């Protein structure tokens, strides 16, 4: 019995570490774009275009961050008719437009398509189609300078998430 308990405990720990989203109190909502934009002083923007984005990187919303819990599920006290229509469209194979996202560093925030993201998460999708506008952090920190260099490289080459920048100018 002790070994089974230990295996179960270790499995739970590993599952929590490898989960797509950070464990949070479910009463907490997703992140607010405006709050992070203020912290990062992210005002410069550029259009990144259409891409498939891992759902685990969508961490918040521009305007509806209070409507969804930390797992991007619609909070129970809100009407779910819209979410049910989106899920039915997914089930029937009806094409829906890509979601509209804002990006700050490696985090994405939903401008349009909160219910599509919630439904995709519920159906176990790992990626979603999106049009993206990136807001570049302007604080003069080493981390931000390295991020901007990596982002410029990715935009010029079209090669995303393949390199890690560790030194300025390299």
The reply to whether 37 falls in a domain is yes
Q: What is the average per-residue pLDDT within 26-50?
A: 86
Residue 89 is predicted with a pLDDT of: 92
State how far the Cα of 143 lies from the Cα of 147, in Å rounded to an integer.
6
The reply to whether 167 falls in a domain is no
Question: 168 and 149 in contact (C-beta within 8 Å)?
Answer: yes
Could you give the number of structural domains in the chain?
1
Question: 127 and 55 in contact (C-beta within 8 Å)?
Answer: yes
Residue 170 is predicted with a pLDDT of: 66
The reply to whether 103 falls in a domain is yes
Report the CATH number at residue 126. 3.90.1530.10
Residue 162 is predicted with a pLDDT of: 67
pLDDT surpassing 50 at residue 1: no
More confident residue, 167 or 143: 143
C-alpha 152: how far from its chain's center?
20
How does residue 81 score in pLDDT terms, banded at 50, 70 and 90?
Answer: confident
pLDDT surpassing 80 at residue 68: yes
Of 50, 49, 73, the closest CA to residue 61 belongs to 73
- pTM here is 0.76
Q: How many CB atoms lie within 10 A of CB 120?
A: 23
Q: For residue 148, what are the domain limits?
A: 28-157
Specify the residue for token string 């995709």: 120
């Amino acid at each position: 019995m002790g070994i089974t308990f230990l295996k179960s405990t270790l499995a739970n720990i590993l599952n929590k570490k490898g989960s797509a989203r950070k464990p949070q109190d479910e009463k907490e909502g997703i992140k607010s774009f405006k709050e992070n934009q203020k912290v990062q002083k992210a005002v410069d923007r550029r259009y990144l275009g259409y891409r498939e984005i891992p759902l685990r990187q969508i961490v918040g919303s521009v305007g509806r961050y209070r409507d969804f819990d930390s797992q991007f599920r619609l909070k129970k006290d809100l009407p779910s008719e819209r979410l049910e229509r989106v899920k039915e469209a997914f089930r029937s194979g009806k094409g829906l437009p890509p979601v509209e996202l804002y990006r700050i560093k490696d985090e994405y925030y939903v401008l349009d398509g909160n219910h599509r993201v919630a439904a995709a998460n519920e159906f176990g999708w790992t990626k979603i189609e999106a049009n993206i506008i990136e807001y570049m952090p302007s604080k003069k920190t080493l981390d931000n300078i390295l991020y901007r260099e990596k982002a410029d490289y990715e935009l010029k080459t079209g090669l995303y998430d393949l390199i890690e920048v560790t030194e300025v100018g390299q």
